[in-house]
Amino acid sequence: MGGPALSDILRIRPLLLLGVGNPLRGDDAIGHALAEALAPESGGGFKARAVGVSVEGALRWVREEAGGTVLVVDAVFDEELAEGDWALYPADRLDSICHTAHSIPLSLLFAFWKNEIPGLVVHFLGIGIRSSEELAPLSPRLRNTLDSLTALCRAALGRR
């Protein structure tokens, strides 16, 4: 979708990865699960935080830990993105593809962060889902996506 590649973003230091999602709603948990998987890799200017459904409450971490770049990872309902596939999205597309569970539109939240923290760059990684069934585990397809994204991120971070 234009812009930098995920591997390039993952090499930026410092970098704060915020994983968004509800662990009690099946595939919606994918962003949260990725941040949990990458949390042990934190260090050397990289920090991963699982924020659950409360990305709106992450401003403190963005101020204290981002150092200029944030990568937000969340599930998206995008008909152009196959289930389990992922893409980097520009802020102007977020309101049409993201869950309505956020208390404010993500584009507005990211604009607020940028206003509060001059020079901040926010990237958004959306992972395609088709279901967010309550109390369901990640589907096999999203489990595979989690595993492959975790491996890709670890490789870009210089860890195996």
Task: Tell me the domain boundaries of the chain.
Answer: 6-156
Q: Residue 84 contacts by C-beta under 8 Å, 6 or more apart in sequence? A: 127, 128, 141, 142, 144, 145
Give the per-residue pLDDT at 83.
96
Total-model pTM: 0.92
Instruction: Name the stretches of the chain with pLDDT < 50.
Output: 100
Contact 70, 120 (CB under 8 A): yes
pLDDT of residue 56: 84
Q: Which two tokens stand for residue 29?
A: 């948990």
According to CATH, the topology of domain 6-156 is Rossmann fold (3.40.50)
Which two structure tokens, joined as six digits, stand for 116? 């509060």
Quote the pLDDT of residue 92: 66
pLDDT of residue 4: 86
| Residues 48-69: tens digit of each pLDDT | 999 998 888 898 999 988 678 9
pLDDT at 65: 83
